[in-house]
């Protein structure tokens, strides 16, 4: 008999790895995984809006597509961590993102607000880890997420200000060219 096919045995096997990992932390991480996937979906919708032939801003397309891939990577990083800690991953449905944007500035403002929401949720995960004395979880969040969020917020805020200065068709065209070499954690040179 293959014991790994027995669900009860598999559960016990999973619990063997579990140590100092509370249900509270497990729930907070599941919430975070779904938040990262929601951001991945929203950035993907933004990217392909800017790829439309009547919009055609390649720099914004590249920027948001790369941001979407990064959010997917964040979700998978947490999923990998959940399995290391012996938690149960629970994925929920992802809300439908906005289908189109009136301007690049509108999309960047939405991205900034979304990143603030993600950051707030990460800080909640960290606070939960600290409350139940789970230094490994706090270290994981600090190492992989917190600084990246702060960097991302600064870049998005800078882009919004630069767009405000360039608010005309030519300005948006030039801004888009500038974005061709930029991504969420690295400004164009």
Q: Interface with Fe ion by CB under 5 A: which residues?
A: 36, 71, 74
Instruction: Report how far apart, in Å, the C-alpha atoms of 45 and of each of 38, 98, 124 are.
Output: 11, 7, 27
SS3 51: coil
Q: Which residue is nearest to Fe ion (CB)?
A: 74
Q: Would you say 33 or 172 has its CB closer to Fe ion?
A: 33
24 marked ligand binding residue: no
Choose among 3, 83, 71, 5: nearest CA to 39.
Answer: 71
Which CB atom, from 36 or from 176, has the smaller least distance to Fe ion? 36
Output the smallest distance, CB 115 to Fe ion, in A. Answer: 5
Is 167 assigned to a binding site? no
Q: How far is the CB of 38 from Fe ion (least distance, A)?
A: 10
Q: Do the annotations mark residue 26 as ligand-binding?
A: no
Give the nearer residue to Fe ion in terms of CB position, either 26 or 71.
71
Contacts of 137 (CB under 8 A, 6+ apart): 21, 25, 29, 85, 125, 126, 128, 129
In angstroms, rounded to a whole number, what is the distance separating the alpha carbons of residues 41 and 33? Answer: 12
As measured in angstroms, the least distance from the Cβ of 103 to Fe ion is: 21
Q: Measured in whole angstroms, how far is the alpha carbon of residue 88 from the centre of its chain? A: 20
**Shortest Cβ distance from residue 186 to Fe ion (Å)?**
13
Which amino acids are annotated as binding site, given as ranges? Answer: 36, 71, 74, 115, 149
């Amino acid at each position: 008999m293959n014991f790994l096919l027995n669900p009860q045995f598999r559960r016990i096997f999973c619990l063997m790895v579990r140590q100092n990992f509370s249900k509270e932390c497990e729930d907070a991480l599941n919430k975070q995984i779904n938040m990262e996937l929601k951001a991945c979906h929203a950035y993907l919708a933004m990217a392909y809006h800017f790829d439309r032939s009547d919009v055609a801003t390649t720099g914004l397309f590249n920027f948001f597509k790369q941001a979407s891939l990064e959010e997917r990577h964040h979700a998978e990083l947490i999923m990998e961590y959940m399995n290391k800690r012996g938690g149960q991953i629970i994925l929920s449905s992802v809300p439908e993102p906005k289908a189109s944007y009136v301007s690049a500035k509108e999309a960047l403002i939405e991205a900034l607000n979304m990143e603030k929401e993600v950051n707030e949720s990460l800080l909640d995960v960290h606070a939960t880890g600290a409350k139940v004395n789970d230094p490994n979880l706090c270290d994981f969040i600090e190492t992989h997420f917190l600084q990246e969020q702060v960097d991302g917020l600064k870049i998005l805020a800078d882009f919004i200000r630069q767009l405000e200065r360039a608010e005309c068709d030519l300005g948006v065209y030039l801004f888009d060219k500038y974005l061709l070499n930029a991504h969420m954690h690295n400004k164009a040179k």
